[in-house]
């Protein structure tokens, strides 16, 4: 893992950003989503900047497809980069890789705030709102868009083992969140963010509006 972050504050009260950026863009003709360009930058740069601007004191970026190119071409100050060698198996493996890396760090944070590189409409304002739902390592929260759960998702450290045990394929934390709905705080973000993915060539036309 490339460690370029500096932890700040007391770890139990720290929320770290976790950016899943490993996808190969299969439905985009094999164009890695992290390297898609938008408004003069790369999607991975935009997503990492939103996490930092939203108050995450450190950011871990999980890479997969074209990881070497991302390292060469992306400017990601204050971020740590970790490779997911099993990225082709789905987003669940990237989530496990990121949470395992945070847990193994010398001073693991109290929570991870998870975002996806292919959702450029998820703003720093949405990050900040969900981050403010953190009260302890048992916290569990997610952005909501007109009442429907989306990203960012805040996973208190007490939940990491359960999430990594259940994350499979492209499901990520979905099953775990569904099973723990009574403990989940939904934070409405539809007025400050757009949760739609950039998955297909048709979706690329929306980038200019985000």
Residue scoring higher pLDDT (202 or 82): 82
Q: What is the pLDDT of residue 6?
A: 45
Per the CB < 8 A criterion, the answer to whether 51 and 122 are in contact is no
Higher pLDDT, 121 or 4: 121
Share of the chain above pLDDT 90, in %: 73
Q: Which residues of 11-44 are buried (b: 16+ CB within 10 A; e: fewer)?
A: beebbbbbbbbbbbbeebeebbbbbbeeeeebbb
Q: Is the pLDDT confidence value at 1 over 70?
A: no
Could you give the CA distance from residue 27 to residue 201 in angstroms, rounded to a whole number?
Answer: 8
Query: Considering the chain, what is the average pLDDT of its residues?
Result: 90
Q: What is the pLDDT of residues 72-126, one digit of tens each?
A: 999 999 899 999 999 999 999 999 999 999 999 888 999 999 999 999 999 999 9
* pLDDT band at residue 2 under the 50/70/90 scheme: low
pLDDT band at 4 (very low <50, low <70, confident <90, very high): very low
Q: How far apart are CA 156 and CA 127, in angstroms?
A: 15
**Least confident stretch, 45-49, 67-71, 174-178, 197-201:** 197-201
| Ordered strands of the 79-83 beta sheet | 79-83, 59-63, 15-21, 111-116, 148-156, 140-145, 185-188
Strand partners, 44: none
**Token code pair at residue 57:** 């004191």
Does 199 have pLDDT greater than 90?
no
Strand-pair category, 37-38 with 41-42 = antiparallel
DSSP label at 12? G
Q: How confident is the model at residue 8 (pLDDT cuts 50, 70, 90)?
A: very low
Lowest mean pLDDT among 13-27, 52-66, 146-160: 13-27
pLDDT for the residue 75? 96
| 160 half-sphere exposure, CB direction, 13 A CA radius | 22
Tens-place pLDDT, residues 12-55: 679 999 999 998 877 776 688 999 987 789 999 999 999 999 99
pLDDT for 31 equals 81
């Amino acid at each position: 893992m490339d460690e370029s972050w500096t932890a700040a504050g007391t770890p139990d009260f720290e929320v770290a950003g976790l950016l899943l950026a490993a996808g190969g863009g299969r439905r985009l003709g094999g164009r890695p989503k992290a390297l898609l360009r938008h408004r003069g930058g790369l999607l991975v740069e935009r997503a990492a900047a939103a996490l930092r601007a939203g108050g995450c004191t450190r950011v871990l970026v999980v890479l997969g497809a074209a990881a070497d190119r991302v390292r060469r071409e992306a400017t990601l100050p204050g971020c740590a980069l970790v490779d997911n060698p099993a990225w082709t198996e789905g987003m669940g493996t990237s989530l496990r890789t990121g949470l395992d890396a945070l847990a193994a760090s010398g001073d693991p944070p109290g929570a991870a705030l998870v975002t996806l590189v292919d959702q450029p409409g998820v703003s720093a304002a949405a990050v900040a709102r969900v981050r403010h739902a953190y009260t302890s390592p048992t916290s569990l929260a997610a952005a909501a868009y007109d009442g429907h759960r989306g990203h960012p998702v805040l996973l208190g450290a007490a939940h990491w083992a359960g999430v990594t045990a259940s994350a499979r394929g492209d499901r990520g934390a979905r099953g775990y969140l569904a099973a723990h709905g009574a403990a989940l705080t939904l934070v409405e973000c539809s007025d400050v963010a757009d949760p739609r993915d950039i998955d297909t060539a048709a979706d690329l036309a929306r980038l200019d509006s985000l």
